[in-house]
Amino acid sequence: MPKNLLEQLRNYTVVVADTGDIEAIGKFRPQDSTTNPSLIAAAAQMPQYQPIVDGVLLGARKELGSNATDAAVANLAFQRLAIEFGKQILAIVPGRVSTEVDARLSFDTKATIEQARSIIGQYDAAGIGRDRILIKIASTWEGIRAAEVLEREGIHCNLTLLFGLHQAIAAADAGVTLISPFVGRILDWYKKDTGKSYEGAQDPGVLSVTRIYNYFKKFGYKTVVMGASFRNIGEIKELAGCDLLTISPQLLAELESTEGELPRKLDPEAAQSLHIERIVMDKEVFEFLHDGDRMATDKLKEGIEGFSAALVKLEALLAKRLAELEMVPAGH
């Protein structure tokens, strides 16, 4: 009997769940899981996770005291909430969870380092080893510099919002554990910019991740590639063999219900025979290449703004919920 596509994909690639929905993670049994501010905000509004949200809010209030504003408590609670969901997820997955630094710190190396250390400290206090946590940081030059410091401290990083080869090379040169190039968001940009539709191996997002993967394997980088942000299973099929792929529950279900052959497309040995020129990366080269790449410039900016907006919305929701909780008389 032929295997479904999800089973076959697992032969070549580590499958990761791209969600904050703990029930969905339990269903698909991924190796790892990733979250981001938008996913945490969505999960926090699901009724089944209300007890987690309420517990985190009341804990943050207790920590900051009765004089703290609801906004201050909500800000602390959102940081705690991502970690609480991370802890719940780690009880299900055998591998790692990615927890994101506040996107509003994306251009502040020092503040990114400080928040990453705080996140790791909270996981440490919960008895969760650093080998099970990836700190997600946006792939700005400042974020990559923060990741370089953190990796030297044994704090593993996942460089996200990654759209160009220049970002990937800078991250790998910094010794980061993992990068997350965004496939679907690259496709979105090109469709809007050109008015064309793209399929299969011609998908610009697929081409970008293939190029990054081959570059890393050609030059022996230890940094692994995790394709992210998929719009359809066609993109996933073209990247079979990538080190890891992080996939939404909806697309995981589609892969699981689809039968047929899934040949390996990315292969480290095949990359060795390719002619690829090495790029020596520094800040000047990074900025020159970034400024010359309209897609990467647009999508990095848009991604940081989108995640920041999701955090503002989540903090407002948490402040509202806190006010509701504090109106309930004790004992009820």
Sorted by where each starts, the structural domains of the chain and their CATH numbers stand as: 5-327 (3.20.20.70)
Residue-wise pLDDT for 2-48, tens only, equals 689 999 999 999 999 999 899 999 999 999 998 888 888 888 899 99
- Of residues 315 and 233, more confidence is placed in 233
Residue-wise pLDDT for 142-198, tens only, equals 999 999 999 999 999 999 999 999 999 999 999 999 999 999 999 999 999 999 999
Residue 22's closest CA among 96, 101, 120, 91? Answer: 91
User: Global pTM?
Assistant: 0.93
Residue linked to tokens 């250390």: 117
Contact 32, 96 (CB under 8 A): yes
- Model confidence band, residue 136 (pLDDT cutoffs 50, 70, 90): very high
Q: Give the pLDDT of residue 37.
A: 80
Contact 178, 244 (CB under 8 A): yes
Tokens of 152: 């030297």
User: Is the pLDDT confidence value at 323 over 60?
Assistant: yes
At residue 300's C-alpha, the angle toward residues 298 and 306, to 5°, is 100
Residue-wise pLDDT for 227-278, tens only, equals 999 999 999 999 999 999 999 999 999 999 999 999 999 999 999 999 999 9
Which of helix, strand or coil describes residue 57? helix
Q: Give the pLDDT of residue 95.
A: 96
Tokens of 62: 């207790």
Catalytic residue IDs: 136
